[in-house]
Chain A
């Protein structure tokens, strides 16, 4: 899977401004080309997705068949179960959703879409991946050190996370914090590149509102990340000190406060949802516009809504803490802000649906993924209303209802959004067309089992089943036959979904071997990345042929034009 990246810099006419430095595969390790870095992020992220998926397989097997010898893992002890769910969450959010959606597609798309040859700080970009790579090794190492991986949930609430006599994972929990901290640093470095590249390196003629929405969204996401992660970084320093040298920031016995961590964590944690959501939203609107052959309904509405969502997202964090012992009066304020955030998000969904109106919709594989994102994310969105209403959250907090809710947001984001983006830009990345029939099989065999996993979990949550418990047979109400059948059903659905991913890998392999060549612009889309070769050469365009922008990215089906698309760089006709 790594070979395609090789093609990015080989055998193209523009080798004259090739890097000088290490040769051979080392060249790719030390490359500063944004496309190579994008591939590095993507393949690291995909590898971590397999790790996280394997964890899901192990603990779902344990839940369906408690005490069973899970093939490929063995018996799951209570401690191992905790470590599995903790690291499944951590890895899927920080090492899959962020590197693939934000970093890989951000790196690949931003310079291509704004019509420039690279990021403005190529070396910082490379450093960003290197730090990320180290963080990956740290988090993987934390799983195998003595005592096992960190097992205090991905939220890492102290005092459990802060004291080894409580969590019994002295090395695992410290490595976990270090790994997550390094990952944050990597994304801060990357984010600076994204923001400044968009601000300063746009192609001549490209105004702010000519920028494709996905670029806007990735950059807004980077800004959100940058402005929210700081307090948690400070918190991570405090947590490491608590763990290793025995300070008492979060220890009530020495005047500390465990709730402080929750505030720091969720002040970051909630904007973080939008950090990964926005790139996926951006990917989806690009695909919908292209395959509906429609201009995006209200381009500016989308941008203003996204900014409003971003601002609001800083004022909702305590809805994760309604029953955590904060002042109950605060819950009123956060109920209001949380329900208010449903307004811009609903508006975004309306815009997406409105864009379909009057279109000429082609149901290609990427379009299916994009439409599925909207349909499934709606479920995640509306179930969030239950949890935002503090009164209902008393019951739902930390149940499987919450779990199903955020999987209905994160799965569309991290998996559906990624597959949408991957299948849509695959021709551009690797120069070949994927098999549409296999792609559709893969799509349906992922989407249907996904719903069959998580809809039953809503029922379990409504029935009062709490999260992070490895075996429910001790609870008289939860050990009911009906409930156990639901758990088995969800696990079987997961197995089907995991197996279906083999179709995707087979499709990639087959396409790589014998797929038809993709031209410059197989989807007849408008944005600048489709005006260069597939895959783009080093430097993206010949230095003398850098694109100049004449219009926005969504001029589809413009009346009076022969083509139903109008590339951003095509000069206006003299006679018009």
Chain B
């Protein structure tokens, strides 16, 4: 793993939050980059600040302060150069941020393995899984409440909707977050890369039970997921398409 990639895994490495999706490391890399860039500025500014306070403290020796009005160029450059440098670093951050933003929110990878519909309502998540056929709004769709089942390493599209008020679909381990708005369907994507059970939070206050609007994302291996699909496909859909079992797919 290269150094830059290692940086993207920093928060995973220190055990704060795991990397659970294909783009989580991109976001983390951006965060680490911003931390480094502004961190240098921040530390430098605070150090100079404290140094000035120490150095120019009135020690009771009768020394008078200098008279500097900051009008001439010799003095002003101490402000203009750093602030041009801030501008340069801003551009760097903007460029990297654009990349991440475009990858996650603007560019939708085509040919998803499965499309799911996520509907927020007071105060639960309703997940409509594509089922065995990989397509949404067919008879074999699997509906669950507060439980999202996905297969590891598959590309998912989601359609995010809300029934009543604003909700926000957030799975921190995947670094995914998108508000759900009543009356709209917002499409996005994710690709889980880590099996396990992860928290789904609602990230937009949605009324009395906002706290308990908790879900779980189950990321399963291909076999586990096939078994789950088989066990949960609605009976009326399973019978006519008996051939269309996960093993036949």
Contact = CB atoms under 8 A, between A and B. Distances in A.
Interface of A: 78-79, 81-82, 151-153, 157-160, 163, 166-168, 252-253, 258-259, 292-301, 323-325, 328-329, 331-332, 335-336, 339-340, 342-343, 346-347, 349-351, 353-354, 356-363, 371, 374-375, 378-379, 382, 385-386, 389-392, 394-399, 459, 462-464, 466-471, 474-478, 556-559, 564
B149 interface: no
A389 B93 contact: yes
A469 B41 contact: no
B172 A464 contact: yes
A375 B49 contact: yes
Contacts of A296: 70
Nearest to A157: B166
B165 A298 contact: no
A126 B87 CA distance: 45
Interface stretch (B56-64, B133-141, B222-230, B234-242): B56-64
Nearest to A148: B208
Contact of A391 (B16, B90, B96, B203): B96
B170 interface: yes
B6 interface: no
Contacts of B46: 375, 378
Contact of B101 (A168, A301, A332, A469): A332
B38 A297 contact: no
Contacts of A159: 164-166, 182
Nearest to A557: B65
Nearest to B201: A466
B68 A160 contact: no
Given A160-B205, A323-B178, A557 B64 contact: yes
A529 to B, nearest CB: 22
B145 interface: no
Interface in B56-108: 56-58, 63-71, 75-76, 78-79, 82-83, 86-87, 90, 93-94, 96-101, 104-106
A152 B46 CA distance: 38
Nearest to A340: B90
A129 B100 CA distance: 48
Given A342-B86, A361-B58, A375-B49, A258 B182 contact: yes
Contacts of B66: 294, 357-359, 557
A469 B68 contact: no
Q: Indicate the size class of the contact surface on chain B.
A: 35 or more
Contacts of B39: 382
B170 A466 contact: yes
Given A79-B208, A252-B183, A347-B79, 5 more contacts: A293-B64, A323-B105, A350-B79, A466-B202, A469-B211
Q: Which 9 A-B pairs have the closest CB atoms?
A: A252-B183, A464-B172, A391-B100, A358-B66, A298-B70, A389-B97, A297-B70, A557-B65, A293-B65
Interface string B203-222: 11111111110101000000
A298 B71 contact: yes
Contact of A332 (B98, B122, B168, B186): B98
Contacts of B83: 343, 346-347, 350
Contact of A360 (B26, B63, B206): B63
A391 B208 contact: no
Contacts of B57: 361, 363
10 contacts: A157-B204, A253-B183, A296-B70, A323-B178, A325-B179, A346-B83, A351-B79, A385-B93, A395-B175, A398-B170
Contacts of A153: 205
Nearest to A168: B208
A509 B175 CA distance: 52
Contacts of B172: 395, 399, 463-464, 477
B175 to A, nearest CB: 5
Contacts of B113: none
B150 to A, nearest CB: 17
B90 A360 contact: no
Contacts of A340: 87, 90
B106 A477 contact: no
A157 B166 CA distance: 8
A343 B209 contact: no
Contacts of A389: 30, 34, 93-94, 96-97
B199 A391 contact: no
Nearest to B204: A398
Interface in B98-142: 98-101, 104-106, 122
Contact of A371 (B11, B53, B168, B182): B53
A391 B101 contact: yes
A266 to B, nearest CB: 14
B168 A323 contact: yes
A78 B101 contact: no
Contacts of B97: 335, 389-392
Contacts of A160: 165-166, 205-207
B3 interface: no
Contacts of A468: 205, 210
Contacts of A324: 166, 179, 181
A391 B30 contact: yes
Contacts of A459: 16
Contact of A564 (B52, B65, B101): B65
B210 to A, nearest CB: 6
Contact of A470 (B34, B197, B211): B211
Given A375-B49, A398-B204, A329 B98 contact: no
